[in-house]
Structure 1
């Protein structure tokens, strides 16, 4: 029958084993059912990768150092936005050189190419993305059937959750396949079937277009709606009007932009053959024609009402129920304007647009003349904090948040060249580094066995367990968060060996101190842990804090070193609490250690302890004396 005193320690070891098995199962599942690997991903210095040279473009053709440095910082954040990828971003003259480990992913390449101005433009109208052909309204199966109500949700739509901060929300409906959109997916944020109005767009949000499947809207006869016109009679917005947020949003969202000229541009624009975006030719006070990222929809957009630099932050996270406080299973993107004029302008825009009919209540987020999202306003947003909801997954919400957060570069870039690069550290250097780590580990093992005898085997077992967990976690982080292990990261793991052993030494020496004070081994283990754990917690907290500060302030490979140091510090504490202490507590009930065998590491002669009772009436008189004192009865 098991000793009831050891039951808590056996339970702790069982939990530890279960967690280890779960991590192992996660690694197996990532390999079998996803694109995971059995080994950690390697960084640029160990594996090589892809190098891209980008040339900046500005309206006046000049590039200053401050703008270039800002662009480098934002690009580095973009590339590393999905994990510790250990990419290298640097300047070469007036060009920017980006090098990423392995093959550059499509997401990374798009993040680098999308490198100019981000603007928020009101949607004037939306049509199907296939150009130069008459097509049925997306969602219709037959042009002869009555047209669907563009404001009604599709059957599989779900009602968006209300935003406590006044979010720009949208329901997650997706258009049904049609001859022009089959196989295409609308960008996140465009949540309803694409309306294709005919004639002058109506102001009624429940109006239903006629069954005639016109590809583009008819132009209005006159500008109207108070929109100023130029000498040629075309609508225009002056810089003076643009300085007034109320006038700007009224003019920018006006139907008067549906002139013959802009209707023709919308009809002729080909989403599949777009010209290279040139930011120097973009006029923010004029409308523009843009496509969704997948080309499923074409937009006629009004003049820009908010610029990308007015957005302070964007993040993603799960939607939490207002009633229960529990996650609902969906995801959202959170926006935060930059305060002051930016928040006031966003409040003015939201108050005006929330009352407009579809699709004119949608505010498109445009990056390099691509609509990355076009959510509609559900209510006014007075405080500059908004939430975009829809049929997001965790990955798509993070991708949109990264596009918004890192989308406003001070200039645009064109790709000059893309090439593969070799590892900067040869195989011999990596082999020597691994040998150095193995030698250090061997010396630690030999010292532990010499100093602590059989107790040193606990140190060896703990080190092996820590190494195994580190390998599992690094591999899983490489699969889930694109963590790349560089030489600096390997150095951090080697340095962590000393930190880990230091925790064991503090613990063992505290136990020995308790034995010297005359305690039995089982009592000495528990009281020694109570005293040593405080020191271990403080030491780990200081190491973790130092690594966190280094990670936050450093760049490039130093961040890899800091990240691995943070990771191993947490694992060291986890193994000490969940494995080393319970294991030693169980061993203290084993006769070999309990009775202080000469090879156990707890023999009185080994630790310099004098028993309280020496036999034949001899006892220890004082524990605090420098030399043992004895008295005979």
Structure 2
């Protein structure tokens, strides 16, 4: 017999690739302790929030605005379509059902308006007892960065500490590939170094927090509100719908500072994308923003204008829902529209801010009219019933494969077992990382996929038998020739199924979208299993005498293949 060729060794390597994938998924599940997928609203219950719109004139809100709000909230709580959250209109109200207990972060996300504006700071003071001095920092001018200036920033204590350290925070940085002589090159681009300088500080008196500051061009009504605003109050103006065409008075997010801010120079609608990430040089969490062309031009003008002003007017206030989340000082013009916001962020706060900006601002202001916990509508009995039905269907398919294909059926059963393992691991990993929740529609989609997966094996097995009957080929030759023809049929069938799942996923919402996701997922898994397991295992089986000699239990015996014994002997390999 000729020595094995490279093509004959390949099946073993392919099986090792599949084994590596399964082990990697298992290790991920073990590290994240995600052994059991999360359940959806119908199986685990959750929280229902009813939002009622509030209009300035007290009239009913426009229907277009309500529809837009429903779409935005649906994107926020179920952006991927697989978390099983439900958003629907009930009259003029919006009802949001979020699966799982204690989903406070999701409730906070759907209730916020996420209106972001960028405004030049006109005046600033401490929220309570005015400080004796307001220290500032001076930075080497650079066209690529914005760095903090005053100690009375929205980062509060974090900024006070930063002013005493070589690298102050927060900063807003232009993400670029080049760097200037005064900057330091980082993974995100260029970041100018801010260095403390004995710049004369603003010193308001105890009686007037605005003493010593330039008050030219400030609306008298804003001055009066600034002196009386209480930033220590619980709400501090959270969710206020500020007029972008007017000067406003706002508190910092942590309640440590109060600001007078100029008219909005750049609005949040000019943001193209927003994402949370980690800066490579410092390891701190940041939010990256990309502006549209108009917003990029406006942002460039704003940073240039602030750079030429005296403190605190060299600061730019980033206002979200009526609160100043950060107010860095301009250190030069930032062209291009690629900006990085950093400060006292952790992973959760950076991700929440990025999500709010990415999914857009609500066109209306809403109040929570009710928040109630709901029990599961199906519960463990229905979950058990769904799993039992899936197990029964899988068992019937296995019995059919054994009775009809005998030895070949064992290969099909092994393939189904691998597909089951990969499917469960995939569900567990998705549940832990992208919010996938196991609901009844998902289970239905997974059960239906059993037949789809079995179809691929049957197509391949039948093609092998046809090649041996009609082509009078040996088993080894039939396995390879049949695969070249069967894989086209398998790919076309799976492609049709996957396209149907994708179309259904994007056109539907709720449970139907969940069903489509599960069906598309298992279709991809079917391709992986057939290519990386079934075919290589069949190639290895063709070398075994049990199959190649046509044993009666192999499913390839002479009687079953419609050949005479002499013909069978003629086709046996040496």
> Which TM-score tier does this pair reach, normalised by the shorter chain?
0.7 to 0.9
Does the 8 Å CA contact 1:13/1:582 hold for their aligned counterparts? yes
* Correspondent of 1:44 among 23, 41, 51: 41
1:250 aligned residue? none
Q: Distance in 2 between matches of 1:592 and 1:174?
A: 82
Task: Quickly say closer, same or farther: Cα 1:607–1:194, change in 2 above 3 A.
Answer: closer
1:597 aligned residue? 551
Q: Distance in 2 between matches of 1:603 and 1:393?
A: 66
Task: Quickly say closer, same or farther: Cα 1:373–1:221, change in 2 above 3 A.
Answer: closer
* Correspondent of 2:137 among 131, 150, 168: 150
1:274 aligned residue? 235
TM-score by length of 2: 0.80
Task: Quickly say closer, same or farther: Cα 1:222–1:12, change in 2 above 3 A.
Answer: closer
Could you give the per-residue CA deviations for residues 299-335 of structure 1, whole angstroms, max 9, x where no partner exists?
4422222333344443456889xxxxxx998876454
Task: Quickly say closer, same or farther: Cα 1:365–1:485, change in 2 above 3 A.
Answer: farther
Does the 8 Å CA contact 1:43/1:85 hold for their aligned counterparts? yes
Task: Quickly say closer, same or farther: Cα 1:603–1:378, change in 2 above 3 A.
Answer: farther
2:249 aligned residue? 288
Could you give the per-residue CA deviations for residues 142-184 of structure 1, whole angstroms, max 9, x where no partner exists?
xxxxx6x52459xxxxx9xx9xxx98x55799999xx972799
* Correspondent of 2:157 among 181, 186, 194: 181
SS of the residue 1:122 aligns to: strand
Could you give the per-residue CA deviations for residues 514-540 of structure 1, whole angstroms, max 9, x where no partner exists?
222122111221222222222223333
2:94 aligned residue? 96
Structure 1 residue 569 and structure 2 residue 519: aligned?
Answer: no
Q: Distance in 2 between matches of 1:206 and 1:612?
A: 99
SS of the residue 1:598 aligns to: coil
Q: Shift of the alpha carbon at 1:71?
A: 0.8
Structure 1 residue 386 and structure 2 residue 338: aligned?
Answer: yes
Does the 8 Å CA contact 1:174/1:185 hold for their aligned counterparts? no
SS of the residue 1:574 aligns to: helix
1:244 aligned residue? none
Q: Shift of the alpha carbon at 1:26?
A: 1.2
Task: Quickly say closer, same or farther: Cα 1:432–1:595, change in 2 above 3 A.
Answer: same
2:174 aligned residue? none
Could you give the per-residue CA deviations for residues 488-542 of structure 1, whole angstroms, max 9, x where no partner exists?
1111111211221121112222222222212211122122222222222333333
After superposing the two structures, state which structure 1 stretch, 483-492 or 537-546, moved more.
Answer: 537-546
Could you give the per-residue CA deviations for residues 202-229 of structure 1, whole angstroms, max 9, x where no partner exists?
xx996624497989963457744xx4x7
Structure 1 residue 302 and structure 2 residue 262: aligned?
Answer: yes
Does the 8 Å CA contact 1:511/1:525 hold for their aligned counterparts? yes
Does the 8 Å CA contact 2:278/2:284 hold for their aligned counterparts? yes
* Correspondent of 1:364 among 299, 309, 317: 317
2:436 aligned residue? 483
Q: Shift of the alpha carbon at 1:463?
A: 1.0
Does the 8 Å CA contact 1:310/1:342 hold for their aligned counterparts? yes
Task: Quickly say closer, same or farther: Cα 1:451–1:304, change in 2 above 3 A.
Answer: same
* Correspondent of 1:65 among 57, 63, 66: 63
SS of the residue 1:285 aligns to: coil
Task: Quickly say closer, same or farther: Cα 1:403–1:580, change in 2 above 3 A.
Answer: same
Does the 8 Å CA contact 2:114/2:356 hold for their aligned counterparts? no
Q: Distance in 2 between matches of 1:476 and 1:375?
A: 39
Q: Shift of the alpha carbon at 1:74?
A: 0.6
Structure 1 residue 110 and structure 2 residue 108: aligned?
Answer: yes
Q: Distance in 1 between matches of 2:29 and 2:525?
A: 17
1:398-409 correspondence runs (5 A): 398-409=351-362
Q: Distance in 2 between matches of 1:317 and 1:455?
A: 50
* Correspondent of 2:411 among 455, 458, 462: 458
Does the 8 Å CA contact 1:118/1:407 hold for their aligned counterparts? no
1:628 aligned residue? none
Does the 8 Å CA contact 2:203/2:211 hold for their aligned counterparts? no
Structure 1 residue 218 and structure 2 residue 210: aligned?
Answer: yes
Task: Quickly say closer, same or farther: Cα 1:396–1:537, change in 2 above 3 A.
Answer: farther
Does the 8 Å CA contact 1:170/1:390 hold for their aligned counterparts? no
1:315-394 correspondence runs (5 A): 315=275, 333-337=287-291, 345-353=298-306, 355-356=308-309, 360-374=313-327, 380=333, 385-388=337-340, 390=342
After superposing the two structures, state which structure 1 stretch, 56-65 or 361-370, moved more.
Answer: 361-370
SS of the residue 2:263 aligns to: coil
SS of the residue 2:52 aligns to: strand
RMSD: 4.2
Structure 1 residue 524 and structure 2 residue 478: aligned?
Answer: yes
Could you give the per-residue CA deviations for residues 420-457 of structure 1, whole angstroms, max 9, x where no partner exists?
10112244433333232222212211221122111111
What count of residue pairs does the alignment treat as equivalent? 536
Structure 1 residue 582 and structure 2 residue 536: aligned?
Answer: yes
SS of the residue 1:546 aligns to: helix
Does the 8 Å CA contact 1:344/1:382 hold for their aligned counterparts? yes
Does the 8 Å CA contact 1:174/1:193 hold for their aligned counterparts? no
Q: Distance in 1 between matches of 2:307 and 2:566?
A: 84
Does the 8 Å CA contact 1:126/1:194 hold for their aligned counterparts? no
Does the 8 Å CA contact 2:202/2:212 hold for their aligned counterparts? no
Q: Distance in 2 between matches of 1:394 and 1:536?
A: 43
SS of the residue 2:372 aligns to: strand
Return 5+ residue gaps in structure 2 as ranges: 172-194
Q: Distance in 1 between matches of 2:150 and 2:404?
A: 68
Q: Shift of the alpha carbon at 1:349?
A: 3.3
1:506 aligned residue? 459
1:26 aligned residue? 28
